[in-house]
Amino acid sequence: MNRRQHGKGGSPPDAKEQQDGERDIQLKRLRFLHRSLGGLSPKDALGLLAVATLSLHVLLAVGLFLLYGSYARLVERPAPSLVQLSDGTAIEVAPLGSRERTPEVVKRFAVDALTLMMNWSGTLPAQNAEEVARPQPDPGIELTEFSGRQKVTTAAWQGSFALSEDFRPTFLLALAEMTPPQVFGGEMEVALMPLQVGEPLKIAEGRWKLSMVANLMVFARGKNLGDVIPFNKEIFVRATEAPRIGASSGSYARQIAAIRASGLEIYRMSELEEASQ
């Protein structure tokens, strides 16, 4: 009777299938345990790498944005217009390129250089208060490179460092030929008197020209009225590197640095009538 009821309710499950099901359950448990203990799967690692890369890019973008904002504020900030020197004095400055000069600087450089070269007093340039009170006679500077033992005044020789290297020898020779010998004996004095100095005209990058209408006043002993010699020039100026000197530099280096402190040089001069043609 028991056999009939068992056959009527259905056959018992197959033992093999039951074992396979239990094996699958064990494998899933082992895989989960391996995933928990053994690290990430390749897909999970790739996902985390993508998230990390994206986060890094976001941080870089934020950093660049902040850096751009800092640069923008720096550009909008006005440049300093007042600079204090080592001796305590303060001067006004303006931002300029390495080959840019203001018209005032160009004009002052040209006038100062020509005044130094064309004023022949017969005395040495004063270096201190004692020499101002007691000027010393100027023996002149001999141009030994030329025949005839030509001489120029010491101040003119110093001022000639404002000229370019190729123009300086020619100008010094012409200057020596027109310097009266009486100047070195204290019997004659010549002074440059500028009448009109034109505004510098920019002719190229770092190059200017300006005109000067002036007279050379010649005072000989016993002639207080003086003779007048017209001195009308077209002056060509260009930007150059200002010399730098150290504490151990000699007197020549210091004189050159003082003359060329503006970073300018005169590379040509011509008669005003000739230049206008």
> Averaged over 128-148, what is the pLDDT?
81
For 26-58, the DSSP string reads HHHHHHHHHHHHH---HHHHHHHHHHHHHHHHH
pLDDT for 14 equals 65
> Averaged over 136-153, what is the pLDDT?
83
Question: What is the model's pTM?
Answer: 0.65
pLDDT for 276 equals 45
- The pair phi, psi for residue 79, each rounded to 5°, is -70, 145
Across 50-64, 66-80, 141-155, 250-264, least confident range: 66-80
pLDDT for 4 equals 47
CB 229 within 8 A of CB 118: no
With CA atoms as reference, report the closest residue to 123 among 110, 138, 102.
138
Q: In order of start, what are the domains of the chain with their CATH numbers?
A: 2-73 (no CATH), 97-276 (3.10.450.230)
What is the distance between the alpha carbons of residues 274 and 207, in angstroms, rounded to a whole number?
Answer: 19
pLDDT for 254 equals 84
Q: Cα dihedral sign for 150, 156, 161, 163?
A: negative
CB 201 within 8 A of CB 208: yes
Model pLDDT for residues 171-198, shown as the tens digit of each residue? 999 999 999 999 998 899 999 999 999 9
Q: First vs last Cα of the chain: how many Å apart?
A: 144
Residue 95 or 100, more confident? 100
DSSP letter assigned to residue 179: S
> Averaged over 139-148, what is the pLDDT?
79
Which residues contact residue 141 at a Cβ distance below 8 angstroms, ignoring those fewer than 6 apart? 151, 152, 153, 154, 156, 157
